[in-house]
């Protein structure tokens, strides 16, 4: 089964908002073996929408459309959708009751005509009931292609994908078998990894594809096997992951799409009943954000102090004003004192602290742009390392975050032995 | 001038990464009057790439391609790009010197063949020199369409867009005039705003388009005027914004694409020489993130305490353990104590604190999912409000962040008078 995801909205084409809906939909489809052939973003323009539908008609099995179902005048999707199927709009009683309950019951406002119009749907469509909002999803088929129109608000779209579309596809369509296996490595660049595994890569079977997904400090390797026989695919993936592991065992940190270093670190902390806190200056809370992005983080993450102002380093973290004066805020000594300080106030086993100059300007400390000190307080010692991560700003921050988590992982593993 | 942005990469089509490059490019093009007609994401497959190029050939003036220029085997873009122009790859001496300097000089590694191959470019292309990485951009023209290929790493792509592509287009092509004006409103939903401005909207001139961009708690209205005569467009936009302001003055907070509530609040704080800190539980640092996303935030933002653990609320923020025991962590009293605590330790004029249950489960406090207390400490008083923002989790967090900033803005304005 082959799908194309279409996003409708001028705001995307002028770069005012980033389309995150398509990625969510593609991931959900991929899990049930539906291949996303293309993603397309087009304008809120009737002709553009119809032209796109016509190009996709009978070329893919499924078209999922998001956006343009809101109550306002610039939302042309529903009318265009209805016209494309030579249909008329009728009022759906269940949807109207839901919209009325939402507006009058929850929002405590009188219902308006604009609100009521949300309950209009093409007469021949299957209504996908939207518990999360006022615009329903609509499922219609023309010749060999199913067209599904969804609201663009992310949590409404997600609700409909998870609770309506995926179950309907699973029930009604046959799909091939797909396995993905992701290997997370860190510490070596894409080219170096590629060279080390060149022979292995050349020997991969035809039905397994390899992709490199690099980001600062880490490379994810993704294997995709596609075919009819689940057993053959699983066996081939397993064998090839084993032979790969022998070659690059020193840089592998995990084996799962969601097996990022923050997941690995989180599991290590949880299994040891250890806790962590962060004190962040140049990373502005991003290490804490990475740690708390993992479900269950509240079991080991106790909190974070984002100390933008120098005063905060002194008053909250207990860094000595003299040390700051003597060594500047971007120094080995301040990083170390921040880590010790947050470890103490948050009463944790481990603590990470960062201080540096991420650029673009030199700032007060006079440290070169790209200079970063990372301190790690463990139950036994304080480790401080100095780096220069170059530029631009976002790369410096990303590399600091990754390096800090990498240092943390190494130390937890060391303390296990 | 009409453009299409093409993103190449299987990792996007399975939803493993979200394409943020296209949005950046579209925004840069829009600023110089180049209209993005479509954005397309396709697979790392030679035939798919060629088919896409052929469809775009002579239908748009400009095609910008990102992704697939890395050094590894799965990157087929460069070879396909070269074949499409019936060209051959030759070594570019300047690029090779740069790659060598980067690998040997900065990364301190011997240069490999894979690295050297990065310096291969089609013989007829204009090389766009990539100071930020090893893969150069490539600019080529066929009949009426320019094709530009860029690396997919975001900061490399951004560098080439800002320093090579935009200046080249501005110098070599004539473009129409485009003005966008965004009006930021908060506190009323999309349908309600639409009803209030219906008459005004019906009287907009043909060359001005209106779009509604709703997100939890706020609606941005975007006017776009397009034409040849700059003066006429500017006058019409100004007149229509003035007449709109008369109608919905009570909910307008700003007038600029970047004029979000955090920008407005930041400007108010900076102009009054006032400072702010946050103590966040259910929002996990997101209010701090919003405040620090504004350039120059270090002038008024002093820091943040993300207090995940109850202990942290006691030890760092000085919330009384008895109060927590008696009232639970999700309470009027704890929110208030957190705001007072962070205002004191960070020595600020204003402080925001949040505590609540964003879901999906009830948690320790037994508070209903969606319950949030926001406390605002000002130089004169403490204001605490209770809300129920419903579900899901992300909506609760977003609405809390927006409401907190809205409360802050109102209080700063009140203290001005």
CATH number at residue B347: 3.90.950.20
Token pair recorded at residue B140: 């080529």
Check CB contact under 8 Å for A15 and B26: yes
Check CB contact under 8 Å for B37 and A132: no
- Beta strand pairing status for A218-227 and A177-186? antiparallel
Determine the distance in angstroms separating the CA of B51 from the nearest CA of chain A, rounded to an integer. 12
Q: Which helix (H) or strand (E) holds A99?
A: helix A93-100
Based on the fold, state whether residues A287 and A367 are members of the same structural domain. yes
Q: How confident is the model at residue B98 (pLDDT cuts 50, 70, 90)?
A: very high
Mean pLDDT of B329-356: 95
- Report whether pLDDT(A257) > 70: no
Tell me which residues of chain B, numbers 113 to 142, contact chain A at a CB-CB cutoff of 8 Å.
114-115, 132
Mean pLDDT of A380-409: 89
Which chain A residue has its CA at the smallest distance from B392's CA?
A155
Which among B3, B7, B14, B113 is the top mutation candidate for probing chain A, defined by the most A β-carbons within 10 Å of its own β-carbon?
Answer: B14
Tell me the pLDDT tens digit for each residue of B213-232.
Answer: 877 667 889 898 988 888 99
Q: How confident is the model at residue B41 (pLDDT cuts 50, 70, 90)?
A: very high
Mean pLDDT of B233-238: 95
Q: What is the CATH number of the domain that holds A226?
A: 3.30.70.2860
pLDDT above 90 coverage of chain B, percent = 57
Q: What separation in angstroms does the CA of A54 have from each of A1, A57, B42, B192, B319? A: 19, 5, 19, 35, 62
Based on the fold, state whether residues A160 and A204 are members of the same structural domain. no
Chain B positions in Cβ-Cβ contact with residue A201 (cut-off 8 Å): 73
- Amino acid A247: pLDDT: 96
Q: Is B25 on the interface with A (CB under 8 A)?
A: yes
Q: Is A61 on the interface with B (CB under 8 A)?
A: no
- Amino acid B258: pLDDT: 64
The number of distinct structural domains making up chain B is 3
DSSP bridge partners of B8 = B42
Tell me which residues of chain A, numbers 139 to 168, contact chain B at a CB-CB cutoff of 8 Å.
153-155, 159
Chain B positions in Cβ-Cβ contact with residue A226 (cut-off 8 Å): none
In 3-state terms chain A splits into helix, strand, coil percentages (rounded to 5) of 45, 25, 30
Cα torsion angle, A224, A229, A230, A233, sign: negative
Chain A positions in Cβ-Cβ contact with residue B20 (cut-off 8 Å): 18
Q: Which helix (H) or strand (E) holds A401?
A: helix A393-416
Are B212 and B192 spatial neighbours (Cβ–Cβ below 8 Å)? no
Determine the distance in angstroms separating the CA of A139 from the nearest CA of chain B, rounded to an integer. 22
Based on the fold, state whether residues B18 and B157 are members of the same structural domain. yes
Chain A positions in Cβ-Cβ contact with residue B43 (cut-off 8 Å): 37
Based on the fold, state whether residues A293 and A400 are members of the same structural domain. yes
Based on the fold, state whether residues B265 and B390 are members of the same structural domain. yes
Check CB contact under 8 Å for B20 and A17: no
Domain final residue pick, A254, A272, A290: A254
- Residue B15 has its nearest CB partner, among A27, A115, A224, at A27
Tell me which residues of chain B, numbers 233 to 292, contact chain A at a CB-CB cutoff of 8 Å.
257, 275, 277, 284-285, 288-289, 292
- Amino acid A417: pLDDT: 61
Based on the fold, state whether residues A96 and A52 are members of the same structural domain. yes
CA dihedral A197, A202, A207, A211 (to 10 degrees): 40
Based on the fold, state whether residues A127 and A15 are members of the same structural domain. yes
Count of CB atoms situated within 10 Å of the CB of A164: 21
Which among B191, B275, B362 is the top mutation candidate for probing chain A, defined by the most A β-carbons within 10 Å of its own β-carbon?
Answer: B191
Tell me how far apart the alpha carbons of residues B101 and B97 are, in angstroms, rounded to a whole number. 6
Mean pLDDT of B350-361: 88
Of residues A2 and B180, the one with the higher pLDDT is A2
Alpha helix positions (H), B276-392: 286-292, 310-315, 321-327, 332-345
Tell me how far apart the alpha carbons of residues A270 and A310 are, in angstroms, rounded to a whole number. 33
Check CB contact under 8 Å for A71 and B194: yes
Tell me the pLDDT tens digit for each residue of A187-239.
Answer: 788 888 998 999 999 999 999 988 888 776 678 898 989 888 889 999 999 99
Chain A positions in Cβ-Cβ contact with residue B213 (cut-off 8 Å): 11, 16-17
Strand-by-strand arrangement of the A177-186 sheet = A208-215, A218-227, A177-186, A252-254
Check CB contact under 8 Å for A303 and B302: no
Tell me how far apart the alpha carbons of residues B38 and B55 are, in angstroms, rounded to a whole number. 12
Token pair recorded at residue B22: 């296209």
Domain final residue pick, A146, A172, A198: A172
- Amino acid A363: pLDDT: 63
Chain B positions in Cβ-Cβ contact with residue A292 (cut-off 8 Å): 284, 306, 308
- Report whether pLDDT(B124) > 90: yes
Tell me the pLDDT tens digit for each residue of A294-313.
Answer: 777 888 999 999 988 888 88
Based on the fold, state whether residues B13 and B76 are members of the same structural domain. yes
pLDDT above 70 coverage of chain A, percent = 96
Tell me how far apart the alpha carbons of residues A195 and A405 are, in angstroms, rounded to a whole number. 26
Check CB contact under 8 Å for A209 and B109: no
Chain A positions in Cβ-Cβ contact with residue B182 (cut-off 8 Å): 16
Chain A positions in Cβ-Cβ contact with residue B9 (cut-off 8 Å): 211
Domain final residue pick, A200, A229, A254: A254
Residue pairs spanning A and B at CB distance below 8 A: 271
- Residue A36 has its nearest CB partner, among B13, B37, B315, at B13
Tell me which residues of chain A, numbers 355 to 384, contact chain B at a CB-CB cutoff of 8 Å.
none
Q: In residues, how long is chain B? A: 417
Q: How confident is the model at residue B277 (pLDDT cuts 50, 70, 90)?
A: very high
Q: What separation in angstroms does the CA of B391 have from each of A107, B358, B388, B404? A: 14, 7, 9, 18
DSSP bridge partners of B44 = none
Based on the fold, state whether residues B383 and B404 are members of the same structural domain. yes
Check CB contact under 8 Å for B39 and A40: yes
Token pair recorded at residue B201: 């909207």
Based on the fold, state whether residues B82 and B123 are members of the same structural domain. yes
- Residue B301 has its nearest CB partner, among A24, A72, A308, at A308
Determine the distance in angstroms separating the CA of A21 from the nearest CA of chain B, rounded to an integer. 9
B103: CB partners within 8 A, 6+ apart: B109, B110, B111, B112, B115, B134
Tell me how far apart the alpha carbons of residues B389 and B387 are, in angstroms, rounded to a whole number. 6
Q: How confident is the model at residue B74 (pLDDT cuts 50, 70, 90)?
A: low
Tell me which residues of chain B, numbers 317 to 346, contact chain A at a CB-CB cutoff of 8 Å.
345-346
pLDDT above 90 coverage of chain A, percent = 57
CA B44 to chain centre: 27
HSE, side-chain direction, 13 A CA sphere, residue B299: 13
- Residue B70 has its nearest CB partner, among A159, A212, A315, at A212
Of residues A413 and B6, the one with the higher pLDDT is B6
What domain range includes position B229? 177-254
Chain A positions in Cβ-Cβ contact with residue B309 (cut-off 8 Å): 275, 298, 302-303, 346
Determine the distance in angstroms separating the CA of B212 from the nearest CA of chain A, rounded to an integer. 7
Based on the fold, state whether residues B168 and B181 are members of the same structural domain. no
Based on the fold, state whether residues B273 and B402 are members of the same structural domain. yes
Q: Is A190 on the interface with B (CB under 8 A)?
A: yes
The whole-chain average pLDDT of chain B stands at: 90
Token pair recorded at residue B197: 């401005």
Q: What is the CATH number of the domain that holds B34?
A: 3.40.980.10
- Residue A213 has its nearest CB partner, among B11, B40, B189, at B11
Determine the 3-state secondary structure of B175 from DSSP: coil
């Amino acid at each position: 089964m082959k799908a194309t995801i279409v996003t409708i909205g001028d705001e995307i084409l002028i770069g005012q908002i980033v389309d995150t809906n398509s990625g969510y939909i593609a991931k959900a489809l991929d899990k049930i073996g539906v291949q996303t052939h293309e993603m397309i973003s087009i304008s809120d323009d009737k002709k553009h929408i119809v032209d796109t539908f016509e190009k996709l008609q009978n070329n893919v099995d499924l078209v999922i459309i998001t956006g343009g179902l809101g109550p306002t005048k610039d939302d042309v999707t529903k009318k265009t959708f209805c016209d494309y199927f030579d249909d008329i709009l009728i009022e759906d009683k269940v949807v109207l009751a839901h919209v009325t309950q939402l507006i009058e019951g929850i929002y405590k406002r009188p219902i308006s005509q604009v609100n009521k119009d949300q309950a209009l749907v093409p007469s021949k469509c299957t209504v996908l009931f939207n518990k999360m909002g006022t615009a329903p999803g609509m499922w219609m088929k023309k010749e060999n292609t199913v067209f599904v129109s969804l609201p663009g608000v992310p949590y409404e779209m997600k609700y409909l994908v998870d609770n309506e579309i995926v179950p309907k596809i699973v029930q009604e369509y046959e799909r091939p078998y797909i396995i993905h296996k992701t290997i997370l490595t860190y510490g070596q660049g894409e080219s170096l990894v590629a060279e080390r595994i060149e022979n292995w890569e050349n020997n991969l079977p035809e039905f397994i594809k390899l992709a490199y997904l690099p980001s600062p400090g880490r490379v994810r390797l993704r294997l995709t096997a596609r075919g009819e026989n689940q057993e053959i695919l699983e066996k081939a993936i397993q064998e090839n992951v084993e032979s790969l592991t022998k070659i690059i065992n020193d840089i592998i940190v995990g084996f799962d799409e969601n097996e990022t270093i923050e997941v690995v670190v989180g599991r290590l902390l949880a299994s040891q009943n250890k806790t962590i806190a962060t004190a962040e200056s140049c990373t502005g809370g991003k290490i804490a954000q990475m740690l708390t992005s993992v479900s269950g983080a509240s079991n080991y993450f106790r909190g974070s102090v984002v100390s933008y102002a120098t005063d905060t380093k002194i008053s909250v973290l207990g860094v000595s004003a003299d040390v700051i004066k003597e060594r500047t805020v971007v120094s080995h000594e301040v990083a170390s004192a921040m880590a010790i300080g947050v470890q103490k106030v948050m009463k944790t086993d481990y603590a990470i602290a960062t201080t540096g100059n991420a650029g673009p300007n030199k700032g007060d400390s006079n440290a070169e742009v790209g200079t970063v000190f990372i301190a790690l307080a463990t139950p036994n010692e304080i480790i401080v390392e100095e780096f220069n991560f170059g530029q631009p700003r976002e790369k410096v921050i990303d590399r600091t975050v990754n390096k800090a988590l990498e240092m943390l992982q190494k130390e937890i593993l060391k303390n296990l032995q």
